[in-house]
Chain A
């Protein structure tokens, strides 16, 4: 039974990773860039929800909507100001810019909100579900997290496959030049991608902070790196890959913490990643690219 508990909380953690990984994977798929500032959008989303709830006493659903709205706006502004002028630049220049944006967000947050750790309120739900005569306890938060992740996955897949803008996104991911010639507005498409990724980051932020209720300016870095790893794990650019990678990462991390060692969990997670990449060099669900000679 304890194994099941760890497994389920691992799935919840994995759900958060998966939601964040979606942001990485979509942006990578379309703009071919590693958006290192993505983790810090989570942090921004966390602070917005925190202040909306604790200082202004807004109801939870409004806090979440506000958090999503602000994160989305920040994401789009970053894309427009910092990344868009670098469309033609080398990927390393873009990477450094993303690092700069990441530093900027962290330090701006530190100036605005202070560097102290804030306790994130239980804005979603409290209590838990007891099963098998109390042998298995699952918090409602865990259930909400996993369900949210599944809804997002289903919704996003439908969005990508069914809507016009979703098809435009797939076209841009395939070939930006050709997409442009077909009358697709590439800039708008990329902006929409950033908007969706950032909005999802806000949802992840609320879920993450509710599970681990401490909020600081560097909150986003480690989950950011982990989620990025998850994205690569599943095959970067692939949406089901992000789900699979995130879930696996969360489960592995939780189980190693429970059964092997808390201190070594990071080392083990990254070792598994390396092994996976050696067996499947483009991730679990990644596509192989052919070079024409």
Chain B
């Protein structure tokens, strides 16, 4: 028993333990609050999206922080996951009546399809490196959004019908699943905060399992030094593909969760800005830092909503926060000061 405890808080596993504890405590706290003192409508409406963005940011951190490649199109995978889930959920609406089961099926489908696209896209993307790789991910993000915006998909007694660019569907009864730029309409809302919490746990579990395995070490070695990694027999393409695919699966999961929380959802939601937003969360949390990502996503996602009373000024303040934090975290003066503070603190600790 004592050993397990020691192991959980060892230097190697501390971050993992903190992640799971932090997320679980936050969940319990919020659940208790909801059931006792209650919670404002606004705050409740933020719970599931926050979970989604945490998963999205964690998945992006796998590519940017742990694999070391800049991706500017992550919202594309989120979109694929989202609309796949909407379609699957719409198709199984009558056959699978249990909401939880349908949620699981839809989310699984969304994740898998996003993963497949992640694999297909990784083939050309990983042939490039640096800023060129980044621009190609941006391009793919735009292409995915643009394609989904042009899909019209409906179901009626004759089965599944689809048209592209213009809506030529002539449904007899039945319903539209995707309506071009209008996206998904009339989706059954089946995701909730608890499912969001569970999916964050799954994400954390996958990422930590990866980091503490031969696969994770290979990915990080390819990030730190390509040539050295190859010299010890690590195939760069293979490891980077793995990181990219797992990341797109998780991003797809985030999208699926997100889509099933709203009755309507437009493809335009998953544009360049969403990809950039996720990147901001990751950089703020610290590259490769999982707990940092969770905290920064929560704060940065909720912050603009809390600033709602300031109305027009909120995004301006948000922008200033971004700039100022980047200046501070990169300033030598601030770094020195923090180090001094750190030393002072530790010396005090040692003296006692």
Contact = CB atoms under 8 A, between A and B. Distances in A.
Nearest to B121: A274
A173 interface: no
Interface stretch (B6-14, B197-205, B209-217, B314-322): B314-322
A264 B165 CA distance: 8
A131 B279 CA distance: 51
Interface stretch (A4-12, A91-99, A177-185, A200-208): A91-99
Contact of B319 (A93, A101, A232, A281): A101
Interface in B297-337: 312-313, 315-316, 318-323, 326-327, 329-331
Given A92-B287, A100-B322, A273-B135, A111 B313 contact: yes
Nearest to B317: A107
Interface residues of A, number: 47
Given A100-B322, A104-B323, A111-B312, A93 B280 contact: no
Interface in A279-293: 281-283, 291, 293
Interface stretch (A57-65, A81-89, A137-145, A158-166): A81-89
Nearest to A293: B227
Given A88-B330, A108-B316, A264 B146 contact: yes
A273 B331 CA distance: 37
Interface in B1-48: none
Interface in A208-250: 221, 225, 228-229, 232, 236
Most buried by B among A90, A270, A293: A270
A266 interface: yes
Contacts of B276: 99
Given A85-B331, A103-B319, A271 B132 contact: no
A261 B142 contact: no
Given A88-B330, A277-B128, A291-B227, A82 B135 contact: no
Contacts of B322: 96-97, 99-100, 103
Nearest to B128: A281
A11 B322 CA distance: 38
B283 A93 contact: yes
A107 B165 contact: no
A1 interface: no
B138 interface: yes
Nearest to A110: B312
A264 B150 contact: yes
A34 interface: yes
Nearest to A88: B330
Nearest to B149: A263
Contacts of A96: 279-280, 283-284, 322, 326
Interface in B117-168: 124, 127-128, 131-132, 134-136, 138-140, 142-143, 146-147, 149-150, 165
A221 B275 CA distance: 14
A278 B127 CA distance: 7
Nearest to A275: B124
Most buried by A among B70, B279, B315: B315
Contacts of B320: 100, 104
A240 to B, nearest CB: 18
Given A229-B139, A291-B227, A107 B316 contact: yes
A267 interface: yes
A100 B322 CA distance: 5
Contacts of B132: 232, 277, 281-283
Given A264-B165, A270-B140, A270-B143, 9 more contacts: A92-B70, A99-B279, A107-B316, A110-B312, A225-B142, A264-B146, A270-B139, A277-B136, A281-B128
24 contacts: A34-B134, A89-B330, A100-B323, A103-B318, A104-B320, A107-B319, A111-B316, A225-B138, A229-B135, A229-B138, A229-B139, A236-B131, A263-B150, A264-B146, A266-B142, A266-B143, A270-B139, A270-B140, A270-B143, A273-B135, A277-B135, A278-B124, A282-B132, A291-B227
3 tightest Cβ-Cβ pairs between the two chains A and B:
A100-B322, A103-B319, A104-B319
